Structure 1
Amino acid sequence: MSIDLPDPIARYFAADKRGSAASLATCFSPDAIVIDEGNTYVGLDAIRQWMTNASTQYTYTVEPFALAHHDDRIVVTSRLVGNFPGSPVDLRYRFAIEGDRIAGLEIVA
């Protein structure tokens, strides 16, 4: 199923698919915050390192299949399949968008 994602979010998932931490970081504003697996990453360097660690620790694919708006967030539900404990899993990516960049992202089960 294909969904029409806002541009910053589409760029995020495209960069994630390529495993490019540098490209993924360019999707975020300079002071963006990412919350994933109980950890918080603030700023582009921390976000780049978070993606680098995730892509070297696990091999995975992510397929967005649903989009919703909740308060000031865009929530994208995606199926994540890979060599990690609990695979496959559906995750909700809660994006805060400012202009053409992601200002915040929280990833939850």
Structure 2
Amino acid sequence: MDLPKIVSDLIKTQNSFDSVAYADCFSETAVVFDEGKTHNGKKEIERWIADSNERYKAIIKPLSFEENDTESILKAETSGNFEGSPIVLTYHMKIADELIQSLKFTG
């Protein structure tokens, strides 16, 4: 599967539980929407993913990727320490200047 570098980096950093490197995939003003909460800015995203990594130890395996004019969409099998694991999540991303500007998860 041919993925943009920033998406490959996001997967790699998630699967190695590197919260700092994960946050570095985002712009300073990025927004993440997850589990009904909004996380604003790189530092808040780093705290959110560090907590998520500690609780869930989620590993993602890409299944498909597509881009259109407004967003990039990654479907990935996500497994970890959570009920229902593994599940397929859809990662809706807006990417600009080789950084993620926004990320929203749907199931």
1:64 corresponds in structure 2 to 62
Measure the CA separation in 1 of the matches of 2:86 and 2:11.
Answer: 17
Deviation per residue, 1:32-79 (Å, 9 max, x gap): 000011111000111001110011112232101101224411000000
2:87 is matched with: 89
Which has the higher mean CA deviation after the structures are superposed, 19-28 or 67-76?
A: 67-76
Q: Provide TM-score, normalisation by structure 2.
A: 0.95
C-alpha separation between the residues in 2 aligned to 1:42 and 1:59?
22
Identity %: 28
In the alignment, which of 22, 25, 30 is matched to residue 24 of structure 1? Answer: 22
What is the root-mean-square deviation of aligned Cα atoms in Å?
A: 1.0
User: 1: CA distance between counterparts of 2:78 and 2:47?
Assistant: 20
Secondary structure of 1:91's aligned partner: strand
Unaligned runs of 5+ in 1: none
Alignment check: 8 A CA contact 1:96 1:102 kept:
yes
- Of 52, 55, 58, the residue aligned with 1:54 is 52
In 2, Cα distance between the equivalents of 1:83 and 1:104?
25
Q: Is the 8 A contact 1:37 1:108 kept in 2?
A: no
Contact kept? 1:91, 1:107, Cα under 8 Å: yes
Q: SS where residue 43 of structure 2 aligns?
A: helix
Query: Structure 2, unaligned stretches of length 5 or more?
Result: none
SS of the equivalent of 1:86 reads: coil
Q: Which amino acid aligns with 2:70?
A: D
Contact persistence 2:55–2:81 (CA under 8 A): no
How many equivalent residue pairs? Answer: 107
